[in-house]
Structure 1
Amino acid sequence: MNAAASTSAPSIRLEIDDIQSGALHHRPAPYVGWFLFLRVDDRHAGRALLRRLLPAVEGGLPGADPNKKDAWAAVALTYQGLRALGVPQESLDSFPLQFQQGMAARADVLGDVGESDPTHWEPPFGTPDVHIVLSGLAPDAARLEKALERARAAYQETPGVEVIWQQEVQQLPTGRTSFGFRDGISYPGIEGSGIPGSNPQEAPIKAGEFILGYPDETGNLPPMPQPEILGRNGTYLAVRKLHTKVAAWRQFLRANASGPEGEALLGAKMIGRWPSGAPLTLSPDQDDPELAADPHRNNDFLYREDDDRGFKCPAGAHIRRVNPRDATIIGVARLHRIIRRGTSYGPPLPDGVLEDDGADRGLVGVFIGAHLGRQFEFIKSEWVNNGNFIGYSGEKDPVAGHHDGTGSLTIPEKPVRRRVQNLPSFVVTRGGEYCFLPGLRALRWLSELE
């Protein structure tokens, strides 16, 4: 069955109460959050920790309780973490190769070279010591504390488990990313979840693209870790700490545009949206904050009928690369959809400052899908760091791609297209891990391995 045909197949219903809340629910806005890495020094202690964490981790979607709405804690494990817990080798061997190898070993595929090479990563990223990843997101500090208080008590009361890294995240005062653009606008609808997508013109994506145990866009069940109780209702996370070179971004816009209006337009052409979040496809000539603020309109567009040749939003723009929608490309876009959840860390660079202040700022990105290979890794290798799929061989994502100062971006214009040259890298990978986010029954199974 092809991807297009699968969209008309009968709907399924997810076992939503067995799926960790953090897997499917949208990031709140505003938000505060917290990421922790733990090392398990004793498998019995690791299992005891999971037993203590279970009451802190909820399934389904946050309910009507105002103390819980839009707030959650999540527990994920790396391949090394599953080994540290004593998961049988036959189960470990049933996980996909990408997950078994870990993100650092996949650096060449992902474009993590140069400054982003794992040899430069922040410890303990890329080491065998990262076993359990705890995370939490909430609209404010009070609800975050409520969501995490049980989790914090669990690891503090468990000898043999050590916290080895932590990172606080929060929405910047501007409500935008460190580059100055609104984020978190676009997300897919997932069949059977009850959560509508942001684009009313996009049919829901099959649940098996995001959650294991259900048919995906090919009509098949994705490969699932065994035994079934371990794999079903789980998913994979690619967790990335990405440093943003905001001063370099501003310098590049200043050097390649005339005046503030020209800089704003060039930045929008590279991103695909204006700073407010208004898409170029619907507002090609100027920013439109009113459009951006309307969730019923700010994603209501397709590329093929509105802008197939990219005169409004270039085919190489960041948002069009990572979600081509119905654009004319090589391949089927629906086979490579993922859930993206980006959260900012570090202080903003003050407006107008063009020199780097030395502060560490950027985002912790979580990319969720049931197929590490044809979702996250495909997007990084083919859509972000290659341009063949849009007919621009050698061109990379102007914002997220790895550049060495010789990169370029094609901007269709009449009568002659523009080529923006000598792009540097604006984003540096500071670390990353592949994680498995189990269902709640799987967490209990892991906690009771003996």
Structure 2
Amino acid sequence: MSSMSLGARMVGRWKSGAPVDLAPLVDDPALGADPTRNNNFAFAHPDTTLATDQSRCPFSAHIRKTRPRADLGTPEDATHHIMRAGIPYGPEVTDAEASSSTTSAECGLAFACYQSNIGNGFQFLTRFWANSATFVHSSVGVVPVIGALASAQRVIGGLNLTDFTNTTTLTANFIVSRGGEYFFTPSLSAIANPLSV
């Protein structure tokens, strides 16, 4: 399996933004660029069994564990939904940098998310879904990209396209946090009528 497809299966999306649930084998840039289609999926397909099939999207994939869609039943409960925005900065990592595990320039992702309740949003998703090795589907592991187990090895299931029962042991941390803050953003109605809140 190529590093591109492994990365896509870990995240649940190809680099273009196309979800592996709709494009499981190769990237589809047109799908990734189409906002009416690239979020229109639920992990459920008539020709597969939702509880066991990982041929399209692994149970441990970042997008699947942080927004499980049909994995938690239908209609989807929006209690834990968040609006996400990631802004990449710096140059792409070169092959030489990747092989030496060093970078010559600062690069990363500035991540922001919005939710109506911090306890039901970001905190809940990271603590109870992303970092739970048994969330929804037993023994799938934590989210490979953001899952944190105090620097311990992470055993992840479902990443191997040829054998979904195989596990992959990850020792590297893909995300190194440089800090974080919580901010209160008032609603437009609160800004328009500050005395009413």
- TM-score class normalised by the smaller sequence: 0.7 to 0.9
The partner residue of 1:340 within 84, 87, 91 is 84
The partner residue of 1:295 within 35, 43, 56 is 35
How far apart are 1:272 and its partner, in Å? 0.9
Q: Counterparts of 1:84-99 in structure 2 under 5 Å?
A: none
* SS of 1:431 mapped into structure 2: coil
1:406 is aligned to 2:146: no
Task: Indicate how the Cα distance of structure 1 residues 324 and 443 shifts in structure 2: closer, same or farther if over 3 A, else same.
Answer: same
Distance 2:122 2:16 in 1: 27
User: What is aligned with 2:4?
Assistant: 264
User: What is aligned with 1:371?
Assistant: 117
Q: Counterparts of 1:202-281 in structure 2 under 5 Å?
A: 257=1, 262-281=2-21
Q: Counterparts of 1:308-387 in structure 2 under 5 Å?
A: 308=50, 309-328=53-72, 333-351=77-95, 353-354=97-98, 355=100, 356-387=102-133
CA-based RMSD: 2.8
The partner residue of 2:184 within 436, 439, 442 is 436
Distance 1:425 1:371 in 2: 28
Task: Indicate how the Cα distance of structure 1 residues 367 and 425 shifts in structure 2: closer, same or farther if over 3 A, else same.
Answer: same
Task: Indicate how the Cα distance of structure 1 residues 435 and 419 shifts in structure 2: closer, same or farther if over 3 A, else same.
Answer: same
Distance 1:295 1:442 in 2: 30
Task: Tell me which structure has the larger Cα radius of gyration.
Answer: 1
Distance 2:193 2:104 in 1: 45
How far apart are 1:291 and its partner, in Å? 2.6
How far apart are 1:319 and its partner, in Å? 1.1
Deviations 1:131-151, CA, capped at 9 Å, x for gaps? xxxxxxxxxxxxxxxxxxxxx
Distance 1:359 1:377 in 2: 30
Q: Which has the higher strand share?
A: 1
Question: What amino acid is aligned across from residue 362 of structure 1 in structure 2?
Answer: G
Task: Indicate how the Cα distance of structure 1 residues 373 and 289 shifts in structure 2: closer, same or farther if over 3 A, else same.
Answer: same
Deviations 1:44-82, CA, capped at 9 Å, x for gaps? xxxxxxxxxxxxxxxxxxxxxxxxxxxxxxxxxxxxxxx
TM norm structure 2: 0.79
Q: Which runs of 5 or more structure 1 residues have no equivalent in the other structure?
A: 1-256
Q: In 1, are the aligned partners of 2:144 and 2:170 still within 8 Å (CA)?
A: no
Q: In 2, are the aligned partners of 1:407 and 1:423 still within 8 Å (CA)?
A: yes
Task: Indicate how the Cα distance of structure 1 residues 278 and 334 shifts in structure 2: closer, same or farther if over 3 A, else same.
Answer: same
The partner residue of 2:136 within 390, 395, 416 is 390
Distance 2:22 2:67 in 1: 16
Q: In 1, are the aligned partners of 2:157 and 2:166 still within 8 Å (CA)?
A: yes
Task: Indicate how the Cα distance of structure 1 residues 299 and 398 shifts in structure 2: closer, same or farther if over 3 A, else same.
Answer: same
User: What is aligned with 1:77?
Assistant: none
How far apart are 1:372 and its partner, in Å? 0.8
TM norm structure 1: 0.37
Q: In 1, are the aligned partners of 2:59 and 2:137 still within 8 Å (CA)?
A: no
1:424 is aligned to 2:163: no
Of structures 1 and 2, the one scoring higher in RCO (CA 8 A, sep 6+) is 1
Task: Indicate how the Cα distance of structure 1 residues 398 and 333 shifts in structure 2: closer, same or farther if over 3 A, else same.
Answer: farther
Q: In 2, are the aligned partners of 1:382 and 1:388 still within 8 Å (CA)?
A: no
How far apart are 1:333 and its partner, in Å? 4.3
Task: Indicate how the Cα distance of structure 1 residues 334 and 374 shifts in structure 2: closer, same or farther if over 3 A, else same.
Answer: same
How far apart are 1:294 and its partner, in Å? 3.0
Q: In 1, are the aligned partners of 2:87 and 2:109 still within 8 Å (CA)?
A: yes
Question: What amino acid is aligned across from residue 426 of structure 1 in structure 2?
Answer: F
How far apart are 1:378 and its partner, in Å? 0.6
* SS of 1:374 mapped into structure 2: coil
Task: Indicate how the Cα distance of structure 1 residues 333 and 415 shifts in structure 2: closer, same or farther if over 3 A, else same.
Answer: same
Q: In 1, are the aligned partners of 2:20 and 2:57 still within 8 Å (CA)?
A: yes
User: What is aligned with 1:70?
Assistant: none
Distance 2:140 2:162 in 1: 23
* SS of 1:434 mapped into structure 2: coil
Q: In 1, are the aligned partners of 2:131 and 2:148 still within 8 Å (CA)?
A: yes
Q: In 2, are the aligned partners of 1:272 and 1:317 still within 8 Å (CA)?
A: yes
